[in-house]
């Protein structure tokens, strides 16, 4: 959000004002210590509004405003300043008392620095005349946040750097940079990015951006906000298949699906406090006279369910799950890219209430292993990072070793000197994109604060307890999974998606559409009965051109069908994955495709059976 004191500077030949009548109750208007009229020559006039959030730190905002004033007067080479309260600059005014205080403090401070100051009274309708010099710097506006810069620096300095290690299965542990050479290529890239602050392939655009456009998967929409995407049928199919996959996985594990609201009332203390931890990265809006926010994950709704439940010890671990379409994070504009970083995205989100830290650790381990299962099913390599406070690490070192053993691969350890988030330990998994940069996907964390904040309790029959709660996303955001999948294709000799995610799984190309399409239809009917997505390229184009089309559409299996096939027993099946043509009977083809899909979810086709009926969504 765009908050904080607003300043409009006018470099003036002169400024003159006169108070006319009080702009509110008597108590509001300033009458002492300020002139009711005044004039100053050759000055900088500062029109000022103090914003409501400045009240949190009046001294801070005064200090920062002074910095701006020194800067501006320095540039304009003048020591004459008019301080002019100007409420109309504001979006959300501070209380009059706070505003008056700020104005008075500014005057005092400036005078102490031997400025000539003229201050106009607060709380009056005033007539004024200003003569702007009109040179390029004569009109300047500034926003001032209430956090003091030094304070911010101090806070950051206070945060001692993390300690980075790599732990191998078996428990061997080294400093991360030292261990780098002995790790996989992806882990090396991960360490360089996380620990050494190296930007991989600087200046390059991640390959998935082009692919998502070229393949008519996903696009931008000018009519929405930045980072809110639209999905064309092919992209929508991939997205839906991934969501089904994750839903099945989590429900099978024991997550109980729910659906909760996407907006929450900031008037509720628990919401306001929790939301406050995310600073300005929220969509906020007013609905009637309530201040609302859009959720950034499913935490609020699920915590709210848990709060209202009567949870018995026997219900634990209690796992509540939701595919949060959508979650919203108002990321800074410059941070939003493609499918990797969005303002509206879909996150599978499960919260698990556990009985105690022992059970929390046990669950964390299981859920982390389940996340690695997605790595296998989706064919995306993930590198794990275990992040925890020093305290947690020292108390649980043996357990951390056990986790790394269970995961069966080396993990990056981040040891954080002090807890400054709601979690004390978390594991996340990063895919490495085509440029060598991490995409953080699955994550599971132990939350040690929220149960108390949201008043979540379970009973052991006699006593009430606050459960440690795990936050879990088994796959990470669906869009990020798509990003990782597409990035992966960019490194392949024959770029392709897994069969179960291919919008078209089998394509028939009739040599002469007018003569051979009927037979293709028969073949297609048969495959469709086995839930395979088939289409027929019946366009009146050369065979060569339609083959090219099947290749650029990344169709895993395509078959030219002419007289030979109609008369013969077998089909010449082009298998893109192996880059070869195999003779198969229709039954063998069906079996081969079904084997690829195995028990992964399968949607029906989203585009018409005949390629001649496929509309162009983006013009490619």
Q: Where do contacts with RNA occur on this chain (CB under 7 A)?
A: 2, 156, 199, 201-206, 209, 213, 220, 222, 225-227, 277-278, 281, 296-297, 327, 329, 331-338, 341, 421-423, 440, 494, 511-514, 540-545, 547-549, 551-552, 559-565, 572, 574, 581, 616, 618-620
CB-side exposure of 210: number of CA atoms within 13 Å?
7
Indicate the residue among 132 and 199 with the shorter CB distance to RNA: 199
Least Å distance, CB 464 to RNA, is 26
With H, G, I as helix, E, B as strand and everything else as coil, classify residue 357.
helix
| Spatial distance between the Cα atoms of 329 and 326, rounded to a whole number of angstroms | 10
186-193: long-range pairs with CB below 8 Å, 24+? 186/381, 186/383, 186/432, 187/383, 187/410, 187/412, 189/432, 189/436, 189/437, 189/438, 190/383, 190/385, 190/412, 190/430, 190/432, 190/438, 191/164, 191/166, 191/412, 192/436, 193/436, 193/437, 193/438
45 vs 65: CA distance, rounded Å: 14
* Cα–Cα dist 488/379, whole Å: 9
Closest approach of Cβ 562 to RNA, in Å? Answer: 2
**Residue closer to RNA, measured from CB, 241 or 320:** 320
Of 38 and 417, the one with the shorter C-beta distance to RNA is 417
Where residue 144 falls (left for φ over 0; alpha for ψ -120 to 50; beta otherwise) is: beta
Token pair recorded at residue 256: 């109980």
**Nearer to RNA (CB atom), residue 17 or residue 558:** 558
CB of 315 to RNA, least distance (A): 25
The smaller minimum CB distance to RNA, of residues 12 and 443, is found at 443
- Least separation, in Å, of the C-beta of 543 and RNA? 4
Nearest approach, Cβ of residue 620 and RNA (Å): 5
How far apart (Å, rounded) are the C-alpha atoms in residues 326 and 348?
Answer: 10
Q: Which is nearer to RNA, 14 or 284 (CB)?
A: 284
CB of 138 to RNA, least distance (A): 14
* Residues contacting residue 457 through CB under 8 Å, at least 6 positions apart: 311, 451, 464, 465, 466, 467
Min CB(337)–RNA separation in Å: 4
User: Token pair of 83, please?
Assistant: 């301080």
Cβ closest to RNA, residue 140 vs residue 311: 140
Q: Which residue's CB is nearer to RNA, number 202 or number 461?
A: 202
Q: How long, in residues, is the chain?
A: 620
Residue 392 Cβ vs RNA, minimum distance, rounded to whole Å = 14
DSSP state of 229: E
Cis peptide before 326 (omega within 30 of 0): yes
């Amino acid at each position: 959000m765009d908050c904080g004191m607003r300043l409009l500077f006018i470099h003036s030949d002169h400024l003159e004002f006169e108070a006319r009548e009080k702009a509110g109750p008597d108590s509001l208007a300033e009458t002492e210590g300020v002139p009711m009229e005044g004039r100053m020559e050759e000055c900088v006039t500062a029109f000022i509004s103090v914003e409501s959030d400045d009240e949190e730190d009046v001294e801070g905002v005064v200090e920062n405003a002074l910095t701006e004033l020194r800067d501006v007067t320095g540039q304009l080479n003048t020591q004459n300043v008019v301080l002019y309260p100007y409420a109309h600059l504001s979006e959300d005014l501070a209380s009059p008392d706070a505003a008056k205080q700020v104005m008075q403090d500014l005057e005092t401070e400036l005078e102490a620095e031997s400025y000539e100051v003229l201050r106009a009274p607060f709380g009056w309708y005033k007539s004024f005349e200003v003569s702007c010099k009109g040179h390029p710097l004569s009109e300047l506006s500034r926003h001032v946040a209430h956090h003091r810069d030094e304070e911010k620096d101090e806070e950051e300095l206070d945060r001692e750097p993390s300690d980075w290690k790599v732990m191998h299965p078996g428990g061997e542990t080294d400093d991360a940079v030292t261990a780098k050479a002995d790790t996989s290529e992806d882990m090396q890239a991960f360490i360089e990015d996380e620990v050494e602050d190296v930007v991989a392939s600087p200046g390059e655009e991640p390959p998935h951006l082009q692919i998502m456009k070229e393949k008519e998967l996903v696009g931008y929409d000018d009519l929405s906000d930045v980072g809110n995407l639209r999905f064309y049928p092919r992209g929508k199919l991939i997205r839906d298949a991934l969501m089904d996959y994750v839903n099945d996985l989590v429900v099978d594990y024991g997550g109980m699906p729910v659906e909760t609201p996407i907006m929450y009332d900031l008037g509720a203390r628990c919401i306001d406090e929790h939301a406050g931890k995310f600073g300005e990265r929220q969509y906020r809006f007013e609905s009637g006279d309530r201040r609302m926010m859009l959720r950034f994950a499913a935490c609020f709704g699920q915590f709210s369910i848990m709060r209202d439940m009567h949870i018995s010890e026997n219900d634990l671990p209690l796992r509540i799950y939701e595919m949060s379409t959508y979650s919203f994070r108002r990321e800074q504009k410059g941070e939003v890219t493609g499918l990797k970083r969005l303002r509206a995205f879909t996150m599978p989100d499960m919260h698990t209430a556990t009985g105690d830290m022992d059970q929390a650790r046990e669950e964390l381990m299981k859920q982390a292993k389940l996340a690695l299962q997605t790595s296998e099913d989706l064919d995306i390599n993930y590198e794990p990072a275990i992040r925890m406070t020093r305290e947690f690490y020292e108390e649980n070192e043996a357990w951390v070793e056990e986790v790394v053993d269970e995961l069966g691969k080396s993990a990056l350890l981040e040891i954080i000197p002090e807890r400054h988030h709601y979690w004390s330990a978390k594991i996340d998994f990063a895919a490495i994109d085509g440029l060598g940069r991490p995409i953080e996907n699955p994550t599971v964390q132990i939350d040690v604060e929220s149960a108390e904040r949201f008043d979540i309790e379970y009973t052991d029959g006699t006593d009430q307890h606050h459960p440690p709660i795990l936050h879990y996303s088994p796959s990470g955001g669906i869009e990020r999974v798509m990003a990782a999948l597409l990035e992966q294709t960019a490194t392949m000799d024959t770029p392709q998606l897994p069969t179960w995610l291919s919008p078209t799984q089998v394509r028939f190309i009739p040599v002469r559409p007018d003569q051979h399409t009927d037979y293709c239809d028969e073949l297609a009917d048969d495959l469709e009965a086995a839930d395979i997505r088939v289409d027929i390229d019946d366009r009146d184009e050369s065979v060569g051109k339609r083959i090219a089309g099947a290749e650029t559409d990344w169709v895993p299996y395509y078959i030219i069908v002419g007289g030979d096939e109609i008369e013969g027993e077998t089909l010449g099946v082009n298998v893109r994955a192996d880059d070869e043509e195999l003779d198969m009977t229709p039954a063998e083809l069906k079996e081969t495709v079904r084997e690829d899909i195995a028990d992964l979810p399968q949607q029906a086709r989203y585009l018409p059976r005949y390629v001649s009926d496929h509309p162009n969504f983006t013009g490619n």
